[in-house]
A and B are shown apart, each in its own frame.
Chain A
Amino acid sequence: MTTAVITGNGTATSGVRPEVRELTSAEFPAADEVWRDYHGTTGDPARDRIFATFLAGQIVSLARCRRHPDGLEVDGVFTPDACRKQGYARMAMNALVVACHNDDLYMYAVESLAGFYAGFGFISIPERDLPPGIRERYTWAAGNMEGAEVRPMLRRAGL
């Protein structure tokens, strides 16, 4: 069983190589624990694929791909404060993009991270181009994406 306890700072400099892989269903609770500080996000094995960067057996970054009836949504890209600036999120995202590259991927990117996601092939799109099932999450913003500080993005299928 994977533990999700994040300890210490700058662990990447300790010489242990980070490893990235997809979580098994049994490991989803460990991801939920890490996500507790990220809007209380939780994984659902029936709909989600979760990719994690591990360091010495501990999760240091997460990215989720959720299957909606009308498309795949990327979200839950999160690295705990103590583990940031080490490239762990990039590793988790890279794994997700390769693993799920057979489908178009949609997301609501945090405005300040739009450039980060552009590096993986995501492009900005009008909100109306998102599948309705994915658009539901930001219905409350009533189309005011700037106000919500998010940007609808799309990555076309392909490696």
Chain B
Amino acid sequence: MKITDILTTFVADARNRTALIAGLAALTLGGNLLAMVIGTPESLLPLPTLPLTIPIILASYWYPRRGILFSVCFGAVYAVTTYLLSPPGPLLAYTILLRAILLVLIGGVVAFLAAKLRESEQQMNQIIEFLPDATFAIDREGRVIAWNRAIEEMTGVKKEAMLGRGDYEYAVPFYGEARPVLADLILHGDPENGYPSVRRDGDVLVAEVYTPLLRSRRGAHIRFAATALLDRQGKVTGAIESIRDVSDEVMTEAALQNASRQLSTLTGILRTDLANRLAVLYGHLSLGVMKFDDPAVLSFIDDLNNAANGIRRQIEISREFRDIGTSPPAWIPVQQAVRKGAANLSFGGVSLEAWTERLEIFADPHLATVFTHLFENSLAPATKAERIVVTYHLRPEGCAIIVEDDGTGIPETEKEGLFVQKAESYGHGLFLAHEILAITGIAIRETGTFGTGARFEILVPSEGYRVV
């Protein structure tokens, strides 16, 4: 055991502190008196007061409320005894009085600072105490230094029973055995050890486990988050860990995934069935074209063919809807997404210029589909666009990716419902684009002027873009 640890343990006991202060006070005052009684060179009188400050500092630090009283008493004893025992001198009384005042001042300043420190510690303890999440903290030696009310409720273990305990005893309410927890792994490294999956979020380690011991032994899904406690030099002095019961969240997510899977299966069956019947319809239409030569009938067949194409497009869109949100969002290079979005479209004589080379945004992996639908809007024959330009504009509130064309644009009356789910027309595609972007908080709006072209602005929040 280190000397600092021995000292820390010794002064943790109030009786030891009092004894230490009393001993030091007696030693320094006694030494002062003894020196004057047995004789000290006159030039040194009155004796230096420096050693006398030690018991005053300790007393004021450990007992701030009584620190000044102690300093006054101590200073008075010093002043009286020194005055009586010192040889008379012209300024002796003033010198002794000044030194006594100095002792009181030192005691007062230390008591004030210690009181402020206690106040700050008290506030910090109260913050931890009333955190809604179950929270505990351990020092570098693995002893519990905080155990708040929420963790008392979660585990049924009272603070008094846990404070000061070590040897991983704080793990018992969660795991049924004393074993390292996430906070220990922060202190001693190897954070992946013992947890099925640990992720690092900045300085915080996060892990989720299932424990059968909580919720009256009915079991609970628990999310642990732990981080290091640092001193002013950045040295680790302990770790704090919060524990959240995410059982409801996990069950809701599982139920939603289950429902989504069933819905996906059902729509998949319907889509396949519809596609098969559509293939039959296309076959009949092809035969019809070969069988009839009456222009009116052929025109009728052509209309039927267009309607069938519309149905096929709806099937494709419904397939894209199925996949949205199935993969986690990621940083996506916009230029690549634009290229991918344009890859399967026929541009004919329409030019596409994309100037987003270094831009990346945090978005759903289906970002390319957004561009596909925006380009489709521009490529519709009715728009008569000849040029599509994709650029970006940095603004105080974020970044706007701008997709614009030189076609006829979108009438004001249609703008409001542009991204709303509709049972007809191209609104389906733009609704899908809107939904894909909304997953990561990205908005979309149309700001063009009818007659001069469409202009879609994809508004990415500040934290959702970067120029690499």
Contacts and interface: CB of A to CB of B under 8 A. Distances in A.
Rank and list the top 10 A-B pairs by shortest CB-CB distance, nearest first. Answer: A99-B355, A102-B393, A22-B357, A99-B391, A102-B391, A98-B353, A24-B358, A25-B468, A98-B389, A98-B355
Contact of B355 (A22, A24, A25, A103): A22
Nearest to A96: B355
A32 to B, nearest CB: 17
A22 B353 contact: no
B404 interface: yes
A1 to B, nearest CB: 16
Nearest to A49: B358
B402 interface: yes
Given A24-B358, A102-B400, 6 more contacts: A24-B468, A98-B391, A100-B391, A102-B393, A159-B389, A159-B404
Contacts of A45: 358, 467
A24 B468 CA distance: 8
- Between A67, A99, A100, the greatest number of chain B beta carbons within 10 A of the residue's beta carbon is seen for A99
A2 to B, nearest CB: 13
B10 to A, nearest CB: 56
* Interface size range on A against B: 10 to 19
B393 A21 contact: no
Contacts of A159: 389, 404, 406
Interface of B: 353, 355, 357-358, 389, 391-394, 400, 402, 404, 406, 467-468
Contacts of B467: 45
A156 interface: no
A95 B355 contact: yes
A49 B406 CA distance: 25
A71 to B, nearest CB: 12
A115 B353 CA distance: 26
Contacts of B406: 159
Contacts of B394: 67
A101 interface: yes
Contacts of B358: 22, 24-25, 45, 49
Contacts of B357: 21-24
Interface in A1-48: 21-25, 45
Nearest to A103: B393
Contacts of B468: 24-25
B405 to A, nearest CB: 10
A100 B394 CA distance: 10
Nearest to B457: A102
Contacts of B391: 98-102
B334 to A, nearest CB: 12
Contacts of A102: 391-393, 400, 402
Contacts of A25: 358, 468
A67 B389 CA distance: 21
Nearest to B355: A99
Contacts of A103: 393
Contacts of B392: 102
Contacts of B404: 159
A69 to B, nearest CB: 12
Contacts of B402: 102
Contacts of B355: 22, 95, 98-99
A67 to B, nearest CB: 8
B139 to A, nearest CB: 43
Nearest to A102: B393
A102 B358 CA distance: 17
A21 B356 CA distance: 10
Nearest to A26: B468
Nearest to A157: B393
A23 B389 CA distance: 18
20 contacts: A21-B357, A22-B357, A22-B358, A23-B357, A24-B358, A24-B468, A25-B468, A45-B467, A49-B358, A67-B394, A98-B391, A99-B355, A99-B391, A100-B391, A102-B391, A102-B392, A102-B393, A102-B400, A159-B389, A159-B406
A103 B394 CA distance: 9
A103 B392 CA distance: 10
A23 B468 CA distance: 11
B154 to A, nearest CB: 47
B436 to A, nearest CB: 23
Nearest to A23: B357
A155 B468 CA distance: 26
Contacts of A101: 391
A102 B392 CA distance: 8
Contacts of B389: 98, 159
Interface string A99-120: 1111100000000000000000
Contacts of A98: 353, 355, 389, 391
A102 B402 CA distance: 9
- Between B357, B392, B393, B402, the greatest number of chain A beta carbons within 10 A of the residue's beta carbon is seen for B357
Contacts of A67: 394
Nearest to B402: A102
A7 B358 CA distance: 28
A93 B404 CA distance: 20
Interface in A67-87: 67
Contacts of A49: 358
Nearest to A51: B355
A94 B353 CA distance: 12
A59 to B, nearest CB: 15
- Between B355, B392, B400, the greatest number of chain A beta carbons within 10 A of the residue's beta carbon is seen for B355
- Between A22, A45, A103, the greatest number of chain B beta carbons within 10 A of the residue's beta carbon is seen for A22
A98 B468 CA distance: 20
